[in-house]
């Protein structure tokens, strides 16, 4: 028996060749889904991104992270969204930030693609009631809600577990070394997806893929089978 939480591998590379190399490697290793960080690509355009996802030919999250939330895309907001719209034809999910202008969020939603509506705070962990409001708003908009925040204390990480406990179909992450355990324990709350690292660490506290897969399934082995 295995965890139902899918392990996603972010790919943050500047060119198509490197992206496809990492994609093939982690598909073979058993990744459940890939996250293409479009903002890591040098001069991406809609046609290029669509072709990359088609060539990967594996469930993929298309993410073109907003600069306000740690992204690296250098084009206009209109261009950023145009790329995501193109990706929506071939991606399993499109990640769009809650802080994106409503008209651009709606332009993604109207494509019919499944969405992850996300929120990232690389400075702090907001008060729990504020995080609840963020997730509730995300859940009204998209298929999966995602919130990733930065802890200062262990209590901050426990607030993130409270989010996982309260809501279904939510990705809630406490980033950094202090909160890295939340990426693993998320499976106990039936989180749909957790993120592990390849050779790219795209967020603080990501655990490498092999370790993540081993831990997620460690205590799900049937001990009767071992005795036999």
63: CATH: 3.20.20.70
> For residues 218 and 97, what is the distance between their CA atoms, to the nearest angstrom?
33
Considering the domain boundaries, does residue 135 fall inside one? no
| Cβ partners under 8 Å of residue 57, min gap 6 | none
Q: What average pLDDT does the structure give for the chain?
A: 91
Q: What is the pLDDT of residue 1?
A: 36
Cβ atoms of 6 and 32 within 8 Å: the answer is yes
pLDDT tens-digit series, residues 112-129: 999 999 999 999 999 999
Q: Is a pLDDT exceeding 80 seen at residue 207?
A: no
Query: Is the residue at 157 inside a domain?
Result: no
Structure confidence at residue 223 (pLDDT) = 33
Q: For 48-107, how does the pLDDT look when each residue is reduced to its tens digit (9 = 90+)?
A: 999 999 999 999 999 999 999 999 999 999 999 999 999 999 999 999 999 999 999 999
Looking from the CA of 98 toward its CB, the CA atoms found within 13 Å total 22
57 located within any domain: yes
Residues with a catalytic annotation lie at 120, 146
Residue 227: per-residue pLDDT: 34
DSSP letter at 218 equals H
Residue-range definition of the domain harbouring residue 107: 6-115+179-227
Q: Where are the alpha helices (DSSP H) in the chain?
A: 16-29, 46-56, 77-87, 102-109, 128-141, 154-166, 176-179, 181-185, 209-218, 223-227
Q: Please report how the helices 16-29 and 209-218 are oriented relative to each other, as an axis angle in degrees rounded to 10.
A: 30
Is residue 15 within 8 A of residue 26, CB to CB? The reply is: no
Can you tell me the mean pLDDT for 146-173?
A: 97
Residue 159 lies in a domain: no
CB 131 within 8 A of CB 147: yes
Contacts of 112 (CB under 8 A, 6+ apart): 88
Q: Is residue 204 one of the residues assigned to a domain?
A: yes
Q: What distance in Å separates the CA atoms of residue 66 and residue 206, rounded to the nearest whole number? A: 20
User: Is 61 inside any structural domain?
Assistant: yes
| The pLDDT value given to residue 200 | 58
User: Percent of the chain at pLDDT above 70?
Assistant: 90
Is residue 163 in some structural domain? no
So what's the pLDDT on residue 121? 96
For 211, the 3-state DSSP assignment is helix
Give just the sign of the alpha carbon dihedral 11, 15, 16, 20: negative
- What's the total number of domains in the chain? 1
Structure tokens at 74: 């250098």
Greater pLDDT, 46 or 210: 46
pLDDT of residue 201: 53
Model pTM score = 0.89
Average of pLDDT values for 188-199? 88
Question: Residue 165 domain-assigned?
Answer: no
**Contacting residues for 208 by C-beta, under 8 A, at least 6 apart:** 196, 197, 198
């Amino acid at each position: 028996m295995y965890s139902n939480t899918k392990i996603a591998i972010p790919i943050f590379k500047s060119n198509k060749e490197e992206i496809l190399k990492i994609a093939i490697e982690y598909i073979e290793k058993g990744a459940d889904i890939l996250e293409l960080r479009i903002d890591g690509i040098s001069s991406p355009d809609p046609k290029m991104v669509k072709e990359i996802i088609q060539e990967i030919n594996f469930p993929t999250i298309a993410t073109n992270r907003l600069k306000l939330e740690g992204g690296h895309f250098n084009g206009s907001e209109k261009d950023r969204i145009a790329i995501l719209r193109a990706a929506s034809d071939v991606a399993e999910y499109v990640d769009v930030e809650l802080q994106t202008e409503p008209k651009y969020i709606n332009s993604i939603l109207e494509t019919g693609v499944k969405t992850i509506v996300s929120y990232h705070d690389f400075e702090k962990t907001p008060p729990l009631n504020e995080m609840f409001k963020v997730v509730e708003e995300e859940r009204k908009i998209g298929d999966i809600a995602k919130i990733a925040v930065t802890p200062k204390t262990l209590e901050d990480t426990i607030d993130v577990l409270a989010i996982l406990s309260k809501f279904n179909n939510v990705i809630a992450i406490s980033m950094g070394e202090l909160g890295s355990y939340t990426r693993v324990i998320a499976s106990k709350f039936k989180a749909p997806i957790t993120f592990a690292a390849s050779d790219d660490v795209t967020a603080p506290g990501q655990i490498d893929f092999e370790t993540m897969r081993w831990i997620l399934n460690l205590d799900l082995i049937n001990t009767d089978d071992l005795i036999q």
